[in-house]
Amino acid sequence: MLVEDETRVAGFLAKGLREQAYAVDVAGDGESALYQAAVNHYDLVILDVMLPLKNGHAVCRELRQGGFRAPILMLTARDSIDDRVAGLDSGADDYLVKPFDFKELLARLRALSRRSGDPRPAALTIADLTVNTASHGVTRGGRPISLTAKEYALLEFLVLNQGRVVGREAIAQHVWEESFDAFTNVIDVYIKRLRAKLEGPGAARLIHTRRGEGYLLSEQPEAGDAA
C-alpha cells in the first residue's frame, strides 16, 4: 500500500512500482489508509508523514496497536534527527527523506522484504525453472525466458506457493490491485501466456489447473489436468 496525498507523486511512485512487478493500492489520506489496511493484506506499506485527516505517525501507531506486522517505510520532507526518531518510535521500520532516488526506494523495499517474517530467497527453483527475485530473471533448463512485469509477478507468486493450490482471489489480491475483479478472464489469459512461455514442446507441465479451486505449481503431473 502506498499512502501519499500528492496525486502527482503518488502516480509516479505507483507507476514505477508496478513496472517492478509490485501490485499497488494507493490511499490519499490517513483514514483511507487505516480502512484499506483493515480489509486487505499488504506485504509492505510506504507511508508519507504529512497526510490529510490523520498524519503518518498516527496511522503508523494505530496500525501497530491493531497488530499490523508488515514492514512500514515512512516518507517525509523533514530531515531532522527528532523527525526520524518520531517516525521510528511510532512503529516504522525505515525512514526515507524526500526527495529521494527511486532506485534507493526499491533497494529499501527489498531490504524490508528480507527482514520481514517471511523473507523471499534470492533464487526460487522448481524442477529446472529458476526465478531470480532480485533481477526478475527467469530461466528454464538454462534458457532465459522474457516475461512482462505482470507475468513475472504472477509466476513469482505461484513459485512462492509451490505445492499449494492458490485461488483466483488470492492471485488477484497479491498480483493485481484492490479494484481488480478476480472473476474476469484476465487471470486465465495470463496463466495461458505463462504456460506458452514456460512449457514449450517436450517440457513438463508445471502450472496445473484445479477446477473450481485455482492453480497449482508443481513438478508432479496431475491426473486429468485441465487446460
- In tens, the pLDDT along 161-199 reads 888 898 888 888 788 876 677 778 888 999 999 999 998
Give the pLDDT confidence of 86-108 residue by residue, as tens digits. Answer: 778 888 888 888 888 999 999 89
Closest CA to 151 of 187, 184, 201, 103: 187
Specify the pairing of strand 45-48 against strand 72-76: parallel
Note the pLDDT of residue 37: 92
Fold type of domain 123-217: Arc Repressor Mutant, subunit A (1.10.10)
Q: CA 144, 166, 40: angle at the middle one, nearest 5?
A: 105
Number of H helices, E strands in the chain: 8, 12
Superfamily of structural domain 2-115: Response regulator (3.40.50.2300)
Note the pLDDT of residue 122: 73
Q: What is the pTM of this model?
A: 0.67
Give the pLDDT confidence of 28-60 residue by residue, as tens digits. Answer: 999 999 999 998 888 899 999 999 999 999 999
- Proportion of the chain in helix, strand, coil states, percent, rounded to 5: 40, 20, 40
Instruction: Output the nine-digit C-alpha cell for 39.
Output: 480489509
Closest CA to 37 of 87, 3, 10: 3
